[in-house]
Amino acid sequence: MMWEFFARSLNASTIFTFAALSELIGQRSGVLNVGIEGVMLFGATLGFIVAQSTGSYLLGFLAAIVIGGVIGLLHGFFSITLGGNQVVNGMGIWILGFGLTAYIGYPYTGPLGMKRIPDIMGLSPFFFVGIALIIITWLVLSKTSLGLRIRSVGENPSVAEVSGINVTKTRYLSVITSGMLMGFAGAIYSLDYNPVWNYNFIMGWGFIALALVFFSMWNPLILLGGSMLFGTLWQLSLNPELVLPGVLSRYIWRTVPFVITIGVLMLMSTKWFSTKWGAAKPEALGQPYEKE
């Protein structure tokens, strides 16, 4: 019983891991995507529809990755090429995703109706993929030339440009990769974690993932710990009586991840935080770069 709870928690944390990691990749290059929830909705819904219609999980996941990449490209076009406000654009993506997927997905309401993806002792195979991806991302960011370029355009694009780095190209690369992973994260939710289509079924997980990136101080390894914490909290909110019988109502438990999210985001925006931890945040985050 206890293991089952634990495995369920880790499966939930897998989705946070993918989503937050995707956001982290974009942010390290200086592009903020607050529309992550919308991209996940797109990936989840399209993946669900394609998998159900073709009977192929592979095609479902591919569709999710492609739509995520396309939205990433769109976000890149607005925020890199046109130099628009990234927060406004991200909000647009969220609203679009929210509305459009509710409309497109409505006829598919209900369970997926396919054989479940096999698990390993109750753990989703994506859990292991997620851990591998965390390690790969960490290695790429800190040990490779590409990672140095991504970090540099996120810290100070004009310095990067002077050093001979193509800022636009590097940012597009990051944003598209980031979008693809967001779509994938959505599809893990709708095809593996909880294969039932429902109105607004991502339920704010994208926003929690967004907060997780700040929470992790842009470090993939801390991010893994953070997503496990949130996964466990989430699971606890579903069945609190399993672990802490009789302590508080499940509805209060269910608010906990969101309360923490709000708390983290508020804390991050304080002056105190930015002076104390300022070095961890990509300096140019959210700022469009214009060549002189």
Considering beta carbons, is residue 158 or 168 the nearer one to other proteins? 158
Complex with other proteins: residue 21 or 141, whichever CB lies closer = 141
32 or 160: CB nearest other proteins? 160
User: Rule CB under 8 A: which of 117-146 touch other proteins?
Assistant: 143-146
Contact between 151 and other proteins by CB under 8 A: the answer reads yes
Q: Is 124 helix (H, G, I), strand (E, B) or coil?
A: coil
Looking only at residues 153 through 182 of this chain, which bind other proteins when binding is defined by CB under 8 A?
A: 155-156, 158-160, 162-165
β 110-111/196-197 pair status: antiparallel
Amino acid at 241: E
Strand partners for 263: none
SS3 assignment, position 96? helix
Cα–Cα nearest to 38, from 106, 99, 79, 112: 99
Contacts (CB under 8 A) with other proteins, residues 259-278: 275
CB of 277 to other proteins, least distance (A): 11
- Residue placing its CB nearer to other proteins in the complex, 98 or 172: 172
Report the C-alpha dihedral over residues 39, 144, 125, 121, rounded to 10 degrees: -130
Q: Does 20 bind other proteins (CB under 8 A)?
A: no
Shortest distance (Å) from residue 16 CB to other proteins: 26
What is the end-to-end Cα distance of the chain in Å, rounded? 61
Closer by beta carbon to other proteins, 107 or else 164 = 164
Alpha-carbon gap, residue 199 to 170, rounded angstroms: 36
Q: Minimum distance between the CB of residue 78 and other proteins, rounded to whole angstroms? A: 25
Rounded CA separation 214/98 (Å): 23
Residues binding other proteins: number (CB under 8 A): 22
| CA geometry: angle 10, 242, 44, nearest 5 deg | 40
Question: By CB under 8 A, is residue 290 in contact with other proteins?
Answer: no
The binding site for other proteins (CB under 8 A) comprises: 143-146, 148-149, 151-152, 155-156, 158-160, 162-165, 275, 279-280, 282-283
